[in-house]
Amino acid sequence: MALTGLPEAPLGPPEHLVDTLEVLARPFGKLDALALLGERAAHMGLWRRGTISCGGSCRLLTSKDGYLAVSLARDEDFEAIPAWLELDHAPANAPAAWSAVADAVATRNLDELTARGVLLGLPVARVGEAAGQVPASRLSLGAAPARDPAGSIVVDLSALWAGPLCGDLLAGAGATVIKVESPARPDGARRGPVAFFDLLNGRKRSVALDFEDTKGRETLRALIRRADVVIEASRPRALEQLGIDAADEVRGRGPQVWVSITGYGRTDAGARVAFGDDAAAGGGLVVWLDGAPMFCSDAVADPVTGLAAANACLDALASGGRWLLDVSMAGLCARLGGPTLPVSPDVVVAPPRARPAVRAASELGADTAQVLAELGLRT
C-alpha cells in the first residue's frame, strides 16, 4: 500500500493479488512474497504516485475510449513520439513530451494508439487488454527424469528484474546459477542501485561472452547445452539472431527446462516491447478510484512474474519431461487483478522492505574462465 494509490492516500490491493502471491511463494520456504513487490522501491526510496508509476517512467493516460499505459523509459521512446502521434516536431524536454503525449492521447482511440505504438516498438498498453490471455503455457518437448533443483545448472540470460529474480529464487533452492552477459550490452540493472542488483544477482556466478564474435556465440550455445535450465527474458528474435532456437535446444537434449519471459507471450505478440508497469496495466493489474485506474505497486509485473516463473520451473523439474515455459507478464497480471479492496481509515502503512543480499554480485565476467573450465568448454 506504500506504493499503491494517491500520494496522500493509499489504496488497497486488487482482491486476488496477496493470496496468489503467498501460494506461489510456498515452495521457497520462508520467502516473504509481499516484500518482493517493494524491494526496488526500498532501495530507491520510491513511494506511490497515483497515475504516475513509482519510478516515474510510465503514466496512465485517458483516451477517447479508455485508458492507456505509456512508458517512456529509453531515449528511443522519446524519439519515437513524433512518428507515433504524427507531430510536426519533437518535444524539447521530458515535461513537454509528457504534456504532448497526454494531449494527443486524449483525442484518439485506444486501438489506433496501441497499434501505432507497438509498430514503433513503444511500450504501450490498453488497460486490461490481456484479459483472458494464458499467463503461462508449458510446451512438452520430450521425456526426461524428474530433477531436484539442488545441484541443477541454471544459465540466466535475462536482465533487469523479472528474469534475474527467477534465477535468484532458483539459487536459493540450491541451483548453481550462471549469469551470462555481453560486455557490449550488460544487464542495465548494473547501473544501480547497486544494493538491488546485489540482491538479485549475489548468488550467481558471472560469465561474459562476446555475442558479436563467432567463438563467443559458439561458447554460448555450448553453455546452454550444458545447462539443466535456461532463463531468458528477450523477444524470440533476439536469440534467433544468435542462431539459438529455444524449442530446438530443449528438444535436442539441451536444457531440460527453458523459461521464456516476455511481455505478451512468444507467439503473435512476441516482438512487442513491455516493461513492468505497462505490462501490469495491460493485464489489468491496477487499482481503481472513482472509476479511474492507478498503479498497483512498483513495476509489479516484474516481481510477480519472477516469482511465478521460478515456481513453474520447480514444478517442471519435479514433474520430469522437457519443457519450454512461455511466461507472459501481462497474461499473468490478468490473473492477479480484481476489485480494489477497501482500506480502513486507521490503517498503518509500512514502508517498502527488501530481503538482505546474500553477498555482493560478481563483477562482469569475473567467473568466466573458471566456469568454462569447470564445464569443460574452454579457458
Buried b (16+ CB within 10 A) or exposed e, 59-84: bbbebeebbbbbbbbbeebbebbeeb
Could you tell me if 263 and 272 are in contact, meaning their C-beta atoms sit under 8 angstroms apart?
A: yes
Looking at residue 240, its amino acid is E
Which cell is 37 given?
A: 513487490
Could you tell me if 340 and 14 are in contact, meaning their C-beta atoms sit under 8 angstroms apart?
A: yes
Could you tell me if 323 and 141 are in contact, meaning their C-beta atoms sit under 8 angstroms apart?
A: yes
Residue 192 in 3-state DSSP? coil
Of 198, 302, 346, 367, which is the active-site residue?
A: 302
- Say whether 103 is catalytic: no
For strands 5-6 and 9-10, give the pairing.
antiparallel
Phi and psi at residue 283, to the nearest 5°: -85, -5
Quote the CA–CA distance of 126 and 103 in Å, as a whole number: 17
DSSP secondary structure code for residue 214 in this structure: H
Which of the residues are catalytic? 302
